[in-house]
Amino acid sequence: MFEQWLSKARFTSCTVALLASACGDDDAGGSGEAGASMTDTSAETDAQGTTTTAATDSQGGGTSGTTGVDTGSDTGSDEDSTTGSASTDDEGSTDTGSTGDTTGGSEEDSSSEDTAGPGVIDQDGDGIPDDADPFPNDPDLPGQVTSGLIYAHSSSVLWTMEVSPPYALQQVGQLGYQSNAGQMTDIAIDQWGVLYGVTFNDLFACHPQQAMCYRLAGLPQSFNGLTMIPAGYIEVDTEVLVAIANSGAWYRVDLVGPQMAQLTQIGSYGGSYTSSGDAFSILGVGTFGAVNGSPHDRIVEVNPSNGNVISEVATVTGYNSIYGLAGWANAVFAFDATSAVLRIDPNDGSVEVIHASTNASWWGAGVGTVLPQ
């Protein structure tokens, strides 16, 4: 089974093992992206919320932060507070399928070498090796992202964006949940095109064309950044899922059993840097994060093995809620909660507004670890 995973908020201990029992479909998730809770309607509007005190959700994670309601015009949210208060997600889908562990595929399938590569065990023949496939016996799950696109999302809707002008945005659909509906706080994509996502309480694998999410594990807290780190940095031969806490601490996330995950701190941005909302890592391109600045967010290049800041790349004047970050060759794309999308040149730090206003208040973004994905 798959050994990588992560989530969104402040976390202090170095290693946390958690066991989450199966839950119903009601969302016990928290408030907005890294602090502001929203219920995202199709109009995708994020309103500022009010601060709440700590509470304990049904998965055992302490929560606190700001809550708000997504109603119709993107006005942003505060992603820099700690995890959100318990609330019911009006957008969560009811159970429409079965867990990928038991659906589709046959144990009698021989390993496929046509799509996953020579010598790679791929029982269901979906092009994803078994050791990276959350559903190794189901050829229909988890699905793979469409090549050549960046994925981004609000709290409840999944989108794609083209990587060249005019950087066309396309709505994939409303995010649904096979169980434990919530609000999506961030996503990450591995080299095989598997899309992972986290809500305030749980870790999921999400089908990138159907926008349906299948629960993999519970999480003790939420994080405001999520990325896959390519093989060769943390593990020699294996990609590692990393979650970034609001404090700037980096945690690796490993699935260690059915509905069980282990979180281990591997480093941090360091100094006075705290996480604004996301990071990405692409082999041969680099690893970059969005950090809080006063009064403007900054883009930094970081060491992929521990998250330490190497250098500041750009100051994003006029924007302080960059909750989604993705990249491509010679480009960093910043997705702001105000609904703007920016392109930053990592070589000279120049900032270009490619979408001043969109139909989404952005909560996260993801891109594969190898280009072209």
Structure tokens at 180: 């434990």
- CATH-assigned architecture of domain 142-366: 6 Propeller (2.120)
Q: Please name the residues in contact with 164: beta carbons below 8 A apart, sequence gap of 6 or more.
A: none
Where residue 301 falls among pLDDT bands split at 50, 70, 90?
Answer: very high
pLDDT at 41: 38
Q: How confident is the model at residue 222 (pLDDT cuts 50, 70, 90)?
A: confident
Residue 328 pairs in a beta bridge with 331
3-state DSSP of 270-310: CCCCCEEEEEEEECCCEEEEEECCCCCEEEEEECCCCCCEE
160 φ/ψ angles, rounded to the nearest 5 degrees: -125, 155
Omega before 139 cis (within 30°)? no
- In terms of average pLDDT, the best of 17-26, 51-60, 211-220, 231-240 is 231-240
Q: How confident is the model at residue 218 (pLDDT cuts 50, 70, 90)?
A: confident
47-64 pLDDT tens trace: 333 333 333 333 333 333
Residue-range domain boundaries for the chain: 142-366
Query: What are 74-122's pLDDT values in tens digits?
Result: 434 445 433 333 333 333 333 333 333 333 333 334 334 445 666 789 9
